[in-house]
Chain A
Amino acid sequence: MNPRVILSTAIIGLGLIIAAVPQNTTRPYKVDASQLLVEIKNGQQFINPEEVADMLVQNDPSIQLIDVRNPDEFNSFSLPGAINIPLESILLKDFEDILNQDTKTNVFYSNGTLQANEAWMLTRQIGFKNNYVLMGGLNYWVESIANPQKPSNSSANEELARYNFRLAAGSALGTGSSEGISTETKTNTSPLTPAIPKIEKKKKKPVAGGCS
């Protein structure tokens, strides 16, 4: 058989396969399962609410809160300065610049920790770094930071100090009131549709090519 016939048969065959299968748009896992398991077991994705509150009070520009709940929930209540990336949009390319970067610390939060943790696992598997989960989620945040329980007078000084910090942080962040998110009447302290901050592109790009 002549090479032309062999080649033509081969490329038409391969072409039919490639036309029939859907294009591979899935992004590869960069972190393997065992490494992920180690990270989960250590709970190293969690960040303490006090730490977050402290950074917010200090207006630390390196922290970026990311609300992974749906937009309705986000609009009715969100933490100051948070942006909304619902869980189902977490893998969209549009958000890659925000989610995969070296300069900022991203903190995912949801009502509990479930959704935020899912967001973290997904982004971690495709190799994104500097993403964390707010420990205890919004529920714990409201309990501890927004409406701290006054410890009994017999408590240790340490505990009193923590209470005072939470009280101060809560009022500084404008969430310190008797109303919790459970009542859904909370005044929104952050702008309703906060602008997504322009972040310098850190994404890997094709280096160069062609003859240019």
Chain B
Amino acid sequence: MQKTLRKYFAFFALPTFAAFTIAFIIPFIMGVYLSFTEFTTVSDARWVGFSNYTKIFTESRDFINALWFTIRFTIVSVISINVLAFLLALLLTKKIKGTNIFRTIFFMPNLIGGIVLGYIWQLIINGVLIKFGVDITFDAKYGFWGLVILMNWQMIGYMMIIYIAGIQNLPGDVLEAARIDGANAFQTLGRVTIPLLMPSITICSFLTLTNSFKLFDQNFALTGGAPGKETQMLALDIYNTFYGRTGYEGVGQAKAVIFFIFVAVIAGVQLVLTRSKEVEQ
């Protein structure tokens, strides 16, 4: 069958591959090339070597600031989302009435788009801050915690579902054995449940990690980077470099390449970690 199938490349694979080439392969290769050039319209690209890359770090501190803000935001979100989602999952696996309704409610915010989420929380956070005579753009720390709260609201339900699936698949005999051996609830949680849930914890940590690291829409709508550029995350900084100032498209593209390398490294670490876990089991 393989041999006959091979002749059908044009039918089965060509349409997808053509769209993939237009939407991904060509833009990606051009993107890498353009990061080494100065351009405004692509056709006027002029080779400048690594100067865009050095400009990122020498001309302004925007990128470093955005990177630092993104890292802090990512660490706080990953920890808070996973801890809260895990606690909720524990509560919802205690055979409570109406578990399904609770699950439905907690998961709902995950479906709402980033732009809409940003404006919902802008209203609420500004509504609280106005009592103190300020708004979210007054100080970077308001924007920071605003983003953290927004991200928690959006992602807790999603991670909770993954943890619930993990908890429900725990081997009952092991938990039974722990109880017979006289372990109390905290000992069972720390010594049995959490170690057995490591695969779920890895998935959720990386999911929240990449989602927080690549965040754009929520950042764009909630603070837009204000005050100044203090709450600007990496994706928004790249966007503003491209479209905020003419003549800086090459620098923007170079930032995008660095951003891509960060994301690729995270994905690589995740792959290695999940692979090694699979071997153990």
- Asked if A pairs with B, the answer is no
Residues of A within 8 A of B (CB): none
